[in-house]
Amino acid sequence: MVTRSVLLGLVVLVLLSYVPPGRSGPNAYIRKAFATCWRLHGICKQKCLKPEEYHILCDTTFLCCVKPKQMPILTGK
């Protein structure tokens, strides 16, 4: 009985390893959830819009665009 549950667990892990990442999926809701950054206040984009500011990098090609009122307060120099 134990070996059957272990085998089932291994099969599930192997199948989950073949699932493509959320960013490349066709579902817009999943893509938006994975495209958030900076404590869910920013959105990962290639170019920020005019009212948004670049804060950090999401990965090597995307910028984290955050609205100015949600930017962190800079302290010290």
Question: pTM for the whole thing?
Answer: 0.51
pLDDT at position 56 is 83
Q: Which residues contact 75 (CB under 8 A, 6 or more apart)?
A: none
- Measured CA to CA, the distance from residue 70 to residue 77 in angstroms comes to 21
Report the alpha-carbon angle 36-40-43, nearest 5: 35
Predicted confidence (pLDDT) per residue in 25-58, tens digit: 456 666 666 778 877 788 888 899 988 888 788 8
Query: Is residue 9 within 8 Å of residue 3, measured between CB atoms?
Result: no
10 vs 38: which has the higher pLDDT: 10
pLDDT at position 38 is 74
Q: Within 10 Å of residue 23's Cβ, how many Cβ atoms?
A: 14
- Measured CA to CA, the distance from residue 45 to residue 28 in angstroms comes to 14
